[in-house]
Amino acid sequence: MKFDGLREGYEQAATHYERHGALARAARSNFRALVVATMKIVLASEGLIVGSDDEAARIAIAERIAHLNLLMGNRPAAANYLKRALKFAADVGDERRVENLRRQLQQLEMT
Q: Residue 33 is part of a domain; what is its CATH number?
A: 1.25.40.10
Number of separate domains in the chain: 1
Residue 1 in domain: no
pLDDT digits (tens, 9 = 90+) for 65-107: 999 999 999 999 999 999 999 999 999 999 999 999 999 999 9
Residue 21 in domain: yes
Please state, in angstroms and as integers, the Cα–Cα distance from residue 78 to each residue in 62, 81, 82, 87, following that order.
9, 5, 6, 14
Predicted TM-score of the model (pTM):
0.92
Residue pair 51/58 in contact (Cβ under 8 Å)? The answer is no
Q: Specify burial of residue 63 (Cβ count, 10 A radius: 0-12, 13-18, 19+).
A: buried
pLDDT digits (tens, 9 = 90+) for 7-47: 999 999 999 999 999 999 999 999 999 999 999 999 998 88
Structural domain of 82: 6-110
Residue 41 in domain: yes
Q: At residue 1, does pLDDT exceed 80?
A: no
